[in-house]
Each structure stands twice: as C-alpha cells, then as structure tokens.
C-alpha cells in the first residue's frame, strides 16, 4: 500500500515546484534528492509529484 502524501509534504513539494524549471523535475536533480531525504520519500516519488503538479498548471497545459 502506498503512503499518502501529507499536507506538509505537499506544501514542501509545491515550494520546490515553484523554484525549479520544468526540465529539472527529475529524480537525479540535487534539489529533488534533498527534498526526498527530508520528507522520507524516494527521489522518483518527488519527481512524479512534481510532474503531477505540472499537469495541473495552466501554464504547462498550454505548452502541449
């Protein structure tokens, strides 16, 4: 069973989303790795959440 994202985890991830350029939403990005360590998630999980947030962002929706 997957661990649910807490409100704090989502706020921290949204904060990172606002700071990173779109092309940096990757599990190998330093900031993604550091956030993952801080919130006890994998870098892949953080990168996926960043991508999920981008899918909801009207700015990125217009890019497709």
* The predicted structure's pLDDT at residue 22: 85
> What is the mean predicted confidence (pLDDT) over 37-48?
97
**Residues counted in the chain:** 64
Indicate if the pLDDT at residue 58 is higher than 90.
no
Indicate if the pLDDT at residue 61 is higher than 90.
no
pLDDT tier at 63, thresholds 50, 70, 90:
low
| Long-range contact pairs involving 14-17 (C-beta distance under 8 Å, separation at least 24) | 14/53, 16/46, 16/50, 17/50, 17/53, 17/54
Q: What's the burial of 54, exposed, middle or buried (CB within 10 Å: 0-12/13-18/19+)?
A: middle
Q: Where are the domains of the chain?
A: 25-64
pLDDT tier at 19, thresholds 50, 70, 90:
very high
pTM for the full predicted model: 0.89
Residue with tokens 């919130």: 39
């Amino acid at each position: 069973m997957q661990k649910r994202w807490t409100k704090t985890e989502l706020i921290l991830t949204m904060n990172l989303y606002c700071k990173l350029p779109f092309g940096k939403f990757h599990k190998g990005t330093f900031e993604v790795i550091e956030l993952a360590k801080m919130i006890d998630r994998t870098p892949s999980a953080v990168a996926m959440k960043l991508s999920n947030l981008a899918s909801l962002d009207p700015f990125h929706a217009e890019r497709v």
